[in-house]
Amino acid sequence: MTTFQHAAAQTLPYTDAPPLAGLRVLDLSRVLAGPFCSMILGDLGAEVIKVEKPGVGDDTRAWGPPFWHHLSAYFLACNRNKYSLTLNLAVPTGREIFFRLLERADVLLDNFLPASLERLGLNREKIFHVNPRIIWCSITGYGKTGPLANTPGYDFALQAMGGLMSITGPPEGPPYKVGVAITDVVGGLYAAIAILACLHARKSSDHGYTIDVSLLDCVVAAQVNVAQAYLVTGQVPPRQGNAHLQIVPYQLFNTADGYLVLAVGNDEQWQRFCRACGRTDLAEDPRFRTNPDRVRHRQELLAELEPLLRSRTTSQWQQLLSAAEVPHSPVLDYEQLFRHPQAQARGLKVTVHDPSGRPVDLLNCPWRIEGAALPPFRFPPDLGQDTEHVLKTWLGCDDQLLHQWRRDGAI
């Protein structure tokens, strides 16, 4: 931190209230994109009510192994800082309870197909009649319009259709998917951004908003420069494997004992790299002087660099390139990553305790905020564990009414 930044941070007013304190989120979504979105809001202090089907719950509760006791690692990854309410929307009493909760909510999140929403009576007119100021965000595979609007969206299929697999994998052989469900993660992020923007806008407009998030739209938008290059040129880009389409050298190399990512992002870094490894002739070669030159002469340059990178170990290259301030990285697995001093300094994992006091490590949220407190992590909930608490605090229900609703099959 610079002196200026440190001085500015010292003068910031501080509050114990998290940034989204007082915000109420009613989350009907399941699996990944929606729960990831609502977890972001919960991490920032919103009260997130995870509405789940009685006796079944979110599909990901059963997506294992591995499990931590009875909760899957998948469920643990995206359901912290939430309360679980079981509610049967298929019965009239369940829908009545839902609409009573909706009156008191700020945000409604779902990932139902449009036809499913209609069958449940959750249409736009009804939603906004009950709460005209609601921010209603729907996350679906293909959006609410178009011929695929009622087609279920799955990450693997969306990576395939959205063009991402066409640019992922080695130049020879089949296309590859990204190793995580990236369309869901990106979709959850885009949804959270849109929700926060609409909450801000509502302060002056005093009316609600609907947000239609398509995972297909999100994965296409997230391909930024590569997809834009196609729009500019009309040329379908070939797969580059572990290389970069528009920057050279920016790829994975074999070293004497492993692998190293070399990420030369500009011509000054290229000059520093060449000086550090004693190959100033490469820096002076007109074929390699600028990045456009290096892209045009990629194969000639790789013929020089590949044996050069194999001449030293990964550790030797790290020392050399760090001293020369040339961007690079070894390839770490998770065990190496979480042992790394940088990961420990940033707290990439955090230990929390379940209601029985048993500790478990969870992935941490990725922001550090000056000027406001973030809530302590709430352990991912058991199915329906907070049903009574939510209905009593949100709706003021007594035990007799809760008993009646259970008898009706609503909760």
- Alpha-carbon span 150 to 115, nearest angstrom: 7
Cis amide prior to 249 (ω within 30 degrees): yes
- Alpha-carbon span 356 to 376, nearest angstrom: 17
Residues 6+ apart with CB under 8 A from 272: 324, 325, 326
Residues 6+ apart with CB under 8 A from 168: 159, 175, 176, 177, 178, 239
Residues 6+ apart with CB under 8 A from 53: 86, 87, 88, 89
Number of C-beta neighbours around residue 379 at 10 A: 20
Give the bridge partners for 253, in sequence order.
Answer: 260
399 is annotated as an active-site residue: no
Alpha helices in 253-353, H assignment, sequence order = 267-276, 280-284, 291-296, 298-309, 314-323, 334-339, 341-346
Residues 127 and 211: beta-carbon distance below 8 Å: no
Number of C-beta neighbours around residue 185 at 10 A: 21
Q: What φ, ψ does residue 362 adopt, rounded to 5°?
A: -120, 155
Which burial class, exposed, middle or buried, applies to 86 when counting CB atoms under 10 A from its CB (0-12, 13-18, 19+)? buried
Q: Which residue shows structure tokens 């229900």? A: 397
- Alpha-carbon span 16 to 37, nearest angstrom: 23
Single out the catalytic residue among 43, 155, 184, 217: 184
- Alpha-carbon span 267 to 248, nearest angstrom: 10
Q: Please count the residues of the chain.
A: 411
Give the DSSP H/E element, type plus range, for residue 184. Answer: helix 182-205
Give the bridge partners for 67, in sequence order.
Answer: 72
SS3 at position 291: helix
Q: Can you point out the beta strands (E) in 333-410? A: 349-353, 359-363
Active-site residues: which are they?
184
